[in-house]
A and B are shown apart, each in its own frame.
Chain A
């Protein structure tokens, strides 16, 4: 399971970076979305893939028995998903407003503030 996951994450990162290197700002935002998803999957994978062992404490014990899945990365991913959702929806609105005001989807035409 881990090699498959690693390859998927690698492809996602590559696709994200490719999209971000395009000049279109819409593709830039798509790249950012892919990038945040790749990061989330990476955190998910760092804990190791353990199947069918929920971290539940049996009745009468104070710690779960045997090897169980680590619940913390999943909590991290959940937080990161929520944050990424909020930030990316802001980015989508920003791109729309920028299009309305600047009338360009090309980053090369947005260089007024650079020099």
Chain B
């Protein structure tokens, strides 16, 4: 029995339920938010340590043996993702204490946040394809409600696009699951992989692979399916934006990694080639979209899209080094991107706007904030010695080794354009002098407790970035071990189904 597999799902679910019990008590909900996410972080670390030591952990729900019951499976990639969920959940919970208004809290901000985390953790840990769909829906419903908290006009417009496209993606996913079941007669991912491996290739497998690619591509905001993301991510309160930016698209990326390494890996000449083109175009269109924007969070939203391209590039090249790069990139990106959104939240709290044109002079008034922005920003652009450098280095080196020179060129160009965007924000928000009308805007003074609560998670995440950057070897070794598991799907199958069933 391995309770640590189920705990990262159960803890946020319980925390959400208890928060609902204390519906009227604001202080109690805030306490549970911090305590719940902190214990999520601790159990996820416990899970990662155990998985790293003992290999893939499996838990059969209700003790039904593998292909019949639902399995929870924690391999290294899943465990790493859960740890990142814990880190982001904890950071955002702290940040929410200072930034989420009384009105939002009264309408259930904290219970929804816990539900979202439970859905995300469930998606990372499940070993059953239909169960994955259910966790996606849990996550989506919570994100829908979080997105429209506050009911502003922009939120409504963004939410309609977000809801419509994500529901379409869910239906495509559901149809693909149904057809897959009709073909192989099982829902357990390990069992599906085992049965597909013995099947004659008749084209239907590729059709299903494409359906999964479209469904997860919408969730991950890959080209040409990303238009819902820049239309909606800049509308909700900033803590919600940061949570979404860090976790939601990465669940789609994780699902792509899982499905295209475990289940659909027989025909990489077809499926992974399409992924490769998709990755290149995702990087390029995202970064070019960002270049045209002059709103803090919109620039960051477009950069989510372009960074997703790097992760999918790692998967698409499908060499051991490329998968290492992809996993490393996910680890670095989740932390950095959330941190940038949190910094934009502090800027908004200080100046009352996200428009670059009306911001300025923050380096003079808050030099420490400028440094805190530079760390994740330069890391995103891939400056050594920060985490992004090593992530980009591994992915690009894998691309060169695979002789995919065109994509290599795009990846390098996108790195440069990312630097341009980040320097644009730096110059407009921090470096240039305060524009004259900026002083006229009345914004409420900020007390020191609020400032501490907002900057603590930003400092913590910046330290994580520095830690990954300056101490890259152990993190690289972790990514390497997880990539080794991904490239050897028979280990996953053996762990879930038991050694005797691997060779049918």
Contacts and interface: CB of A to CB of B under 8 A. Distances in A.
Chains A and B come from one and the same complex: yes
A39 B175 contact: yes
A76 B145 contact: no
B109 interface: no
A16 to B, nearest CB: 9
A46 B182 contact: yes
B175 A91 contact: no
Contacts of B151: 97, 101
Contact of A97 (B148, B167, B177, B181): B148
Contacts of B161: 113
Given A76-B130, A90-B145, A97 B178 contact: no
B234 interface: yes
A46 B144 CA distance: 31
Contacts of A112: 153-154, 157
Nearest to B152: A101
A39 B171 contact: yes
Nearest to B185: A70
Say whether chain A's binding surface is mostly helix, strand, loop, or mixed: helix
A107 B163 CA distance: 14
B297 to A, nearest CB: 11
B157 A87 contact: no
A91 B232 CA distance: 16
B159 interface: yes
Contact of B160 (A38, A80, A86, A95): A95
B400 interface: no
A30 B435 CA distance: 48
Interface in B121-154: 130, 134, 137, 140-141, 144-145, 148, 151-154
B477 interface: no
Which residue of B158, B175, B234 has the most chain A CB atoms within 10 A of its CB atom? B175
Main SS of the interface on chain B? helix
Interface in B96-126: none
A98 B175 contact: no
B174 A43 contact: yes
B178 A83 contact: no
A87 B170 CA distance: 11
Contact of B156 (A46, A87, A97): A97
A94 B232 contact: no
A72 interface: yes
10 contacts: A20-B168, A42-B175, A46-B182, A87-B167, A90-B145, A90-B163, A97-B148, A110-B160, A113-B158, A114-B231
Given A47-B181, A87-B170, 20 more contacts: A25-B160, A28-B160, A32-B167, A36-B171, A43-B175, A46-B178, A76-B130, A76-B177, A76-B178, A83-B134, A86-B141, A87-B167, A98-B160, A101-B156, A102-B156, A102-B157, A110-B160, A111-B157, A112-B154, A113-B157
Interface of A: 20, 25, 28, 32, 35-36, 38-39, 42-43, 46-47, 72-73, 76, 79-80, 83, 86-88, 90-91, 94-95, 97-98, 101-102, 107, 110-114
